[in-house]
Structure 1
Amino acid sequence: MALYEYKCGDCSDSFDLMRSMSEADSPASCPACGSESAARVMTTFVAMGSGSAYSGTNPMMDARMSSQRAVGGCGSGCGCH
């Protein structure tokens, strides 16, 4: 299962659906207007890592990562402490 973003062709509402990869491109029902014309849109994502190859390439991400380290990372179960 994966999370996909869809946009309605009738009302232009955007929404997310958790679906299997085999259903990803199937039409989706819009929760706002009920239309069956919603289609999947391509979205971007960020891959995070460590080391010199990752540092300083994205100032917004660098600031976000710094603030996470300042408050103790992302949680006790992740092992980043």
Structure 2
Amino acid sequence: MPRYDYRCRACGDTFEISRPMAEATTPASCPRGHSDTVKLLSTVAVTGRGGGPAPAPTGGGCCGGACGC
């Protein structure tokens, strides 16, 4: 289930809520009871298995080198 980050405009606290994507736009209340909150933009980092460079391509052309192009 996705987690969404929010910041309370009243007290400045930042908090997260896990909820289904269908409820992503539903307003969230601050844990302290304030209702003036804003959803924060979250970033996602995706990395490969080893974090190293991608392997060099093998073959070439449209068929992976089988036609000699």
Calculate the TM-score normalised by the size of structure 1.
0.56
Answer with 1 or 2: which has the greater Rg: 2
Q: Paired residue for 1:12?
A: 12
Unaligned runs of 5+ in 1: 54-81
The one-letter amino acid paired with 1:17 is I
| Structure 1 segments (4+ residues) deviating >3 Å | none
DSSP 3-state at the match of 1:22:
helix
Gaps of 5+ in 2: 55-69
CA distance in 2, matches of 1:46, 1:16: 18
In the alignment, is residue 41 of structure 1 matched against residue 40 of structure 2?
Answer: yes
Aligned length: 52
Matches within 5 A, 1:1-81: 1-31=1-31, 33-50=32-49, 51-53=52-54
Indicate the percent of aligned positions where both proteins have the same amino acid: 40
Give the Å deviation of 1:13: 0.6
How far did 1:5 drift? 0.5
Q: CA deviation at 1:39?
A: 2.1
- Tell me by how many angstroms 1:21 deviates: 0.9
Alignment RMSD (CA, Å): 1.5
Bigger share in helix: 1
